[in-house]
Amino acid sequence: MPGAEEVDLKMEVPPAWYGALAGFRLAMRRFLALSEVALAEAEVTSQQYQAMLVIKTAAGGRIMMRELSEQMLMHPHGAVQLVDRLSLAGLANRIPSENDRRSVLIRLTPRGEALLEELARIHVEGLLANQPLLVESLSKLRDLGDIE
């Protein structure tokens, strides 16, 4: 990782690392549990939420199918099926590309935008609620990496 201190991964794991890793995992599990509930209530899958985030952050709020599949680490046909489900739910739609008639761009619908904003607020609140434990755990790992 750029900027991170190098740690000899072949050395014996210091006992204190386990506590720091456990704290980090606890914070992540709390966040993921909150996320699962929020997404279930919104009737959106985790993959659909991630795709909506990718679409929202693309230049102009529009993304080519190929780029979506790359960002989602999916095969192109999987991305097509994902967009089909988003479209069926009224959360995204396809629009012809103005630059390349063979290409289709994906964008969020107003309903998709509103749902994404609601889910983003919930997720940020969840991350911030777990911030102290995340920061403490990561700081311990960094400090232990410097000492050990």
The domain segmentation of the chain, as residue ranges, is 15-147
* Full pLDDT tens readout for the chain, 148 residues: 444 555 566 678 788 889 999 999 999 999 999 999 999 999 999 999 999 999 999 999 999 999 999 999 999 999 999 999 999 999 999 998 787 777 889 999 999 999 999 999 999 999 999 999 999 988 888 887 765 4
Instruction: Give pTM, 2 decimals.
Output: 0.82
Cα dist from 108 to 56, 86, 92, 146, whole Å: 7, 9, 4, 45
Q: Does domain 15-147 have CATH number 1.10.10.10?
A: yes
* Pairing verdict, β 92-96 and 62-64: unpaired
- Rounded CA gap, 146 and 142, in Å? 6
